[in-house]
A and B are shown apart, each in its own frame.
Chain A
Amino acid sequence: MNFLFYISAFIAVAATGMVITRTNAVHALLYLIVSLLAVALIFFTLGAPFIAALEVIVYAGAIMVLFIFAIMMLNLSSATVQQEQGLLAPGIWRGPALLCLVLAGELAYFLTAEHERLSRMDLVPPKQVGIALFGPYVLGVELASMLLLAGLVGAYHLGRQEDETKGER
């Protein structure tokens, strides 16, 4: 099992690296899908098949398809590829990389120094998260759903086409 974990973890990291460095948007998205599938496999090897299935259905199967759909409509030309190449200049990624290094250091610290505390931590099963979300935090969930609804209505309004031939409807 450990062996399988390391293989999928390596694929996830490598694919994510490829996502960042690709200049063609569709190729980058394909690597992102591979990365998501690898993460799903990691969940599976860690004994969380339900989360693994949701990862595939929601992220790889629905959200990424929408991304691909949008990019297919945009018909990106070679000019955007050049623009992307410009984004890979060291001046732009130096800041984020530094911040990520801090996070990586923190993670490494937790995994080595605080190893005992991590293993003593209580696992939170999905059912408990659900109960918490629709129990004490129900107001937050409702607020978030209202925000999403507002976004949806707004997007619909922006996308509406005025019927010029018939005038006001």
Chain B
Amino acid sequence: MNETVMVLIRTFGILAALLSVGGLLIWLERRLLALWQERYGPNRVGPFGLLQVVVDMVKVLFKEDWVPPFADRPVFVVAPAIIVIVTLLSFAVVPFAPGLAVIDLNIGLLFFLGMSSLGVYSVALAGWASGSKYSLIGGLRSSAQMLAYEVFMGLSLMGVVMQAGSFDLARIVEAQQDTWFIVPQFFGFIVFLIAGIAETHRLPFDLPEAESELVAGFHSEYSGLKFGLFFLGEYLGITLISSLVAVLFLGGWQGPWLPPLAWYLAKTFLFIALFILIRATLPRPRYDQLMAFGWKVCLPVALLNLLATGAFVLLKG
């Protein structure tokens, strides 16, 4: 009984922490963007503008929950929930510290890949169900983009799996006792980071919602709480990819002096900041450039990395 209570506390604790981090990231992103662009950003509501999130949330909650008459109602309503659910589910396998994970699954990495591949539906269905051409083009772009980048997202991680000899994320962290995988798997790291940015369709890979040409892409017709879910899903996605980079390539909770959880949080935060810095600096490529870059650069690099790692593991073992 005691065990069950502990599991419940852990699960809901992590859930609550993730949801508040998702909200806080909105504030963090606006402040950091402002910092890098020589502005102030939101600094009026509460200390350092921290309560801006609360105010925004209240605004979103009180907006009219509206479904356009030309939309496919059931699919339109379900679509934004999918991205939040699958991203939160992915966090179930992330080890935050020794023993601090919702579930210690021996196929943890595959579980994450499966969940991230289901995330495509959210965007594709939102684009289709909206019944508007901008949304449809956004949905089409995003499904093509996410399908393409998923391929080598998985491939770039297989080098890590080979070296650690396990799909279990906790085992992978333990295997990085001596050297972090960012050293032997440097190319895997780069490819995974790029694919991760594309999977969360963040700038510069935000072609599905390019506001200069597609209004707001797949979520043009969304407003109020349903739009809020897309927003939350995006920030949860950033957190997820950053945590996975930290866990898979930077040794997760490992590090001297500080407690394990602090190391994990520091490494994750570093990559969240990197995500925002990239948004603040890089311009958006053309859509064909994006796809060409994926298939002609990232895929070969991932495959070569896999080949080299395979040869290395064979020779060593």
Listed in ascending order, the chain A residues whose CB lies under 8 Å from chain B are 24, 26-27, 30, 33, 49-50, 53-54, 56-57, 60-62, 65-66, 68-69, 72-73
**Closest-CB distance, A6 to chain B (whole angstroms):** 23
| Contacting residue for A50 out of B110, B129, B154, CB 8 A | B110
What A residues does B117 contact at CB under 8 A? 56-57, 60-62, 65
Contact indicator B124/A54 (Cβ below 8 Å): no
What B residues does A61 contact at CB under 8 A? 113-114, 117-118, 120, 150
> CB of B194 within 8 A of chain A?
no
Give Cα A154–Cα B127 distance, bound, in whole angstroms.
31
**Closest-CB distance, B75 to chain A (whole angstroms):** 7
Interface residues of B in 132-147 (CB under 8 A from A): 136, 139-140, 143-144, 146-147
Contact indicator B143/A49 (Cβ below 8 Å): no
Contact indicator B110/A68 (Cβ below 8 Å): no
Contact indicator A53/B128 (Cβ below 8 Å): no
What A residues does B144 contact at CB under 8 A? 69
Which secondary structure dominates where chain A touches chain B? helix
Taking residues whose C-beta sits less than 8 angstroms from the other chain, chain B's interface range is: 20 to 34
Known: A61-B114, A61-B118, A65-B121. A53 touches B75 (CB 8 A): no
Known: A30-B75, A60-B117, A69-B143. A53 touches B111 (CB 8 A): yes
> CB of B105 within 8 A of chain A?
yes
**Closest-CB distance, A115 to chain B (whole angstroms):** 31
Give Cα A24–Cα B154 distance, bound, in whole angstroms.
33
12 extra interface residue pairs, beta carbon distance < 8 Å, beyond A56-B118, A60-B118, A72-B143: A26-B75, A54-B110, A57-B113, A57-B114, A60-B114, A62-B150, A65-B121, A65-B124, A65-B147, A68-B124, A72-B128, A72-B139
Q: Which residue of A is nearest B111, CB measured?
A: A53
The interface centre, meaning the residue of A24, A53, A62 with most chain B CB atoms within 10 A of its CB, is A53
> CB of B106 within 8 A of chain A?
yes
What B residues does A26 contact at CB under 8 A? 72, 75, 125, 128-129
Give Cα A54–Cα B118 distance, bound, in whole angstroms.
13
Give Cα A56–Cα B75 distance, bound, in whole angstroms.
20
| Contacting residue for A53 out of B72, B114, B121, B124, CB 8 A | B114
What B residues does A68 contact at CB under 8 A? 121, 124-125, 128, 143
